[in-house]
Chain A
Amino acid sequence: MEFTVSKSDLVRELGLSQGVVEKKTTIPILSNVLIQAEGDRVFLTATDLELGIRCSCPARVKKEGAGTIPARRLLDYVRLLPDADITFKFLENHWASITCGKSKTKIAGMSRESFPELPEMPEQIAEIPYGLLASLIARTYFAISLEESRFTLNGALLLVKPEGVTMVSTDGHRLAFVDQQLADPANKSFRALVPRKAMNEIAKLAAEGTPDQKAHLSSDDNHLFFQFGDRLLITRKLTGNFPDYERVLPKENEHIARMSKAEIRSAIERVAQFADERSRAIRVRFEPGEVRVFSSSVETGESEESVSTEYQGPAMEIGFNAQYLLDFMRAISQDEVAFSLKDEKSAGELQPWLPAGDGTQSQSYRYVVMPMRI
């Protein structure tokens, strides 16, 4: 195999595979990137067996073929090369000879035979704009459980229906639900659990294009496929049953406090400095016209803030994990939030405040947080 590529193309595409390549693996080939020269392109494939990515860039291919070399080492080296064309030549012993101007290097590689085959992309189910995918992920990613034992919560539920797409995540303490209409109706309905790591990579790939560009989504029994132009991300689905989220979405939260996001967010940020470091517990007191936030810890001190609100419900004091509230505030772009409540022991719900009839109702974002015992 022999081909020539531009350094910038190669660095960009290799960079996208780094999140997928296993850093610590017991299977050495998984640290490698598969390089295939075909036609007028060179294809780069990386996988950790859970997640796979296939990128490509234009190349002058002198001789077609394939080989694998350590992905990290290749990127680290290529980055240091001058901005010029790089010529790759794979040798008999699976080593790759890399020439760029006066630089000549040989990197030890491995036969491509042992590199795992990635599944083929089946028929498309839906087209989802990059921007929409990115925003679904940004508004649910943080609520995914990091607790490995709760493996069905280690990702987000993706629901595709003809009329729209829904993403839900929860860690058992809070739940993020985003529902958005699709301009182009999906071909069929389906549901799958997308692993957290895949979501990270999807967000990265979506950020490479413009928000209007459309990613193609498809699925086989075990995998999900996200095609971003010439780049393809394949992830295994998480198996297991996602909790019945509809049961958790509050229906009786009749007391609503509407606040400026900037005010309540910075109030919580400051007060949280004095919350117990481990529990991050703060107290939020809802009173007519006012929301007071306070914290105290034996070790650090105490802090209190007050934010004005349109709240007409009964006075209530509820404990919350400050981090959970801030995660939501940081994920939304709207200026106002609505905090709806039932009582001290039931889940509270946060939503961006959307003035009625301004046309943005095509999307819905609901964030449910359980209180803390205080």
Chain B
Amino acid sequence: MSSVPTIFHLDMDAFFVSVEELFDPALKGKPVVVGGKAHERGVVSAASYAAREFGVHSAMPLRTAYKLCPQAIFVEGHPDRYRDYSHQVRAILENFTPLIEMASIDEAYLDMTGTGRLLGPPLQCAHALHQAIKDATALNCSIGIATSRLVAKVCSDQAKPNGILWIYPGLEARFLAPLPIRKIPGVGKVTEKNLHAIGIHKVGDLASLDEGVLGQRFGKWGLALAGKARGEDAGGWFDQDIGAHADAKSISHEHTFSIDTSDAELIDSTLTRLSEMVARRLREQGVHARTVQLKLRNRAFETITRARTLARPTQLDIEISRTIRELFRENWKPGAEIRLLGVQLSHFTSEAGQLNLLDSAQDERWREAMRAADHMRDRFGNSAVGLAAGMRGNFRERTHETLIPKPGAKKP
């Protein structure tokens, strides 16, 4: 198996406008604005390339669009048609890979890792896909190919219109460096302005910046940015596997330390606290989780996730925190500084089911205890957790001694 991921990002070219053109060929090549009449309130939902040359773009008020390009043809749009074509495109994608994520009606991520033998090298495969879509729908699309979703998305944007661009593994940072920072998905007007303010204009500027600075200035988001500037899938759903989340339901909590820490006690208490938070939500939803996953991001912004499947589904804070702390110990070199911790639970079942042979009585006591704890939290708010823990005396305190974050520890 090839270990380097091959991710396609497929983006339909001016999708709405192109679909409109199929039904009214007279629109072809003209400035077209989809969204409504020129004088109406509302925003542009799509603009043809000809209209874009005048500065019209989606999400812009229709009236502004009219001012910029009064000669444009304004059409209402046909959502049913777009959906229909989107489904057609999706059906074609499914001939290429089962790992598809429709990011929106007109763009999709495809995990093509390991399809080389079947579908040929990435470029050849992308051409075949491009042609298949053209044949079936008469629509153009652009395809970006890279080792991460993020770079693939930037690629398809650079390839537009009607192009294919492949960034060879290893060249991601070099490809991104000369691009304006705005090209990074997630960098909007505000972030752009803030980055410009500190002299950052190109992605390369961002990548060469000390992460600490980004962290301080932009918090968690800044840290994700630094990763993105290097072409990594960092932050939010970019971390997820394509297609993986389709039916995976999970509950997670994360905490980013205000200052990177290697303080084992602080880390332990944070993990316990996070475990408590996810366990509480588990109980609220009346499910038991079978898989516990640790997310760990270090000073170098390397993110790892490590999951463990429990022998039996659980709802109990102690079992989750025990597992998560084990996972942490196994994946942490003492002294290494940690930036972010996360606890995720998944693989839910409605019943814990199997009773325990060795400590069933203790188990039952814990269930009761947690029920009581939740009760108190309901009544007195989540901040009553510490109080509730204290009220259960030594027993609870012993196993949960790190429950209450130490003074100075930032609340997750």
Contacts and interface: CB of A to CB of B under 8 A. Distances in A.
Q: Tell me, yes or no, whether A binds B.
A: yes
A172 B322 CA distance: 16
B355 A371 contact: yes
Contacts of A340: none
B312 to A, nearest CB: 7
A373 B355 contact: yes
A332 B352 CA distance: 30
A347 B357 contact: yes
B354 to A, nearest CB: 5
Interface residues of A, number: 26
Given A147-B310, A278-B349, A172 B355 contact: no
Select the residue from B322, B323, B354 with max chain A CB neighbours within 10 A. B354
Contacts of A368: 357
Contacts of A146: 311
A370 B311 contact: no
B349 A372 contact: no
Interface string A153-195: 0000000000000000011111100000000000000000000
Contacts, number: 58
Contacts of B359: 172
Nearest to B355: A370
Contact of A370 (B323, B351, B356): B356
A282 to B, nearest CB: 11
B311 A175 contact: no
Contact of A372 (B323, B354, B358): B354
Contacts of A170: 357-358
B134 interface: no
A279 B353 CA distance: 7
A145 B358 contact: no
From B311, B322, B349, B356, residue with most partner A Cβ within 10 Å: B311
A172 B311 contact: yes
Contact of B351 (A147, A173, A279): A279
Contact of B358 (A243, A321, A371): A243
B353 A373 contact: yes
B358 A248 contact: yes
Contact of A149 (B326, B356, B358): B326
A173 B310 contact: no
A276 to B, nearest CB: 8
A281 B326 contact: no
Nearest to B312: A173
Given A149-B308, A150-B311, A172 B358 contact: yes
A372 B290 CA distance: 16
What 9 A-B pairs are tightest by C-beta distance, nearest first? A370-B355, A147-B311, A370-B357, A372-B353, A279-B353, A243-B358, A372-B354, A172-B358, A173-B354
Given A172-B312, A173-B311, A373-B353, 16 more contacts: A146-B311, A147-B310, A149-B326, A150-B311, A172-B358, A172-B359, A173-B312, A173-B354, A173-B357, A278-B349, A279-B349, A370-B356, A370-B360, A372-B355, A373-B352, A373-B354
Interface of A: 145-147, 149-150, 170-175, 243, 248, 278-279, 281, 319, 321, 345, 347, 368-373
10 contacts: A170-B357, A170-B358, A172-B312, A172-B356, A243-B358, A278-B349, A370-B357, A372-B354, A373-B351, A373-B354
